[in-house]
Amino acid sequence: MTVWFITGASRGLGLEIARAALAAGDRVVATARDADSARRALPADQDGLLVLPLDVTDQAAAEAAAARALERFGRIDVLVNNAGYGVAGAVEETSDEEARSLFDTNVFGLLNVTRAVLPTLRAQRRGHLVNIGSVGGFSQGAGSGIYGASKFAVEGITEALHAELSGLGIAVTVVEPGQFRTDFLDPASLRQAARTIDDYAGTAGARRTQFADVSGHQLGDPAKAGRAVVALTRAQHPPLRLPLGQDSLERIEAKLAQVAQEIAAWRELASSTGHGPAPTAPALTAPALTESAQTGPARTTEGGRA
């Protein structure tokens, strides 16, 4: 039986992951800034459920919540860093205060909770760290650049953790959802930059309008996304990245094709900058692929974690 610690579990993907884990017979520590909302949304008679208030920007609160989880269930098997929100607006339109507030939750909040839970996972020599990123953290366009930057940071942090925790029995995955029919595009989760600049009306401004038009009509089913994350944690060799949704797959594949095309077109100039054929100092090498990245699709094991 798996013990989950989930942030941002009062709505959206965090709530659906909590529901899917409980339905699978697992135990769940569901944390949220508004714990009452999480209690109302989750089954009230579940012995395997602990709902806790948590503002992820508070390191001490994160450590206290992790301690409560251990008190109740004795261990933590899966940490899901899901808490976060978005900001819509051009990069120039987004103020310093708006950008820093976003990073405080989406990046520094994730780091706070990770620091609070990782000592337990390391001591156990097992577990799974799941960071909820976004396809916008892999491929970004006009109108949500600062939000995308926070999710690009999540990608980088996840890659580093994947390498650092290798050999310690801890899997690390960043989930890259596309558009799912949650309230993410509603004002509760997607804030608008206070400033607008006319020059961006056709780019970032058009994207703001698109967000409003799409809200409530996204093709992705969040309940299926929740079940997919539970399936991910049952995998024998979990991937470093898990895109969710056909739109996410298509955006990632389009960017990879664009990057390959640019490399081919600019390879000669890019490779012309060395001292000569015999470098005087050893070069840094690219990190080697881990076993899970080399072996391809994950194989699931019946009845729980490997």
Q: Which residue has the tokens 């620091």?
A: 115
Q: Which residue has the tokens 């989406």?
A: 106
Q: Which residue has the tokens 């990190």?
A: 287
CA atoms within 13 A on the CB side of 194: 5
CB-based contacts of 168, cutoff 8 Å, min separation 6: 121, 122, 125
What is the DSSP secondary structure assignment for residue 235, as one 8-state letter?
B
**Token representation of residue 189:** 């989760």
What is the DSSP secondary structure assignment for residue 133, as one 8-state letter?
-
**Token representation of residue 75:** 């261990």
**Quick count: other Cβ atoms within 10 Å of Cβ 186?**
14
**Quick count: other Cβ atoms within 10 Å of Cβ 269?**
8
Q: Give the helix/strand (H/E) hosting 17.
A: helix 12-23
CA atoms within 13 A on the CB side of 197: 13
Catalytic residue among 147, 180, 200, 211: 147
**Token representation of residue 280:** 């005087």
* Alpha helices per DSSP H over 24-94: 35-41, 59-73
d(C-alpha 194, C-alpha 249), whole Å: 32
d(C-alpha 205, C-alpha 223), whole Å: 31
200 included as an active-site residue: no
Active site residues: 147
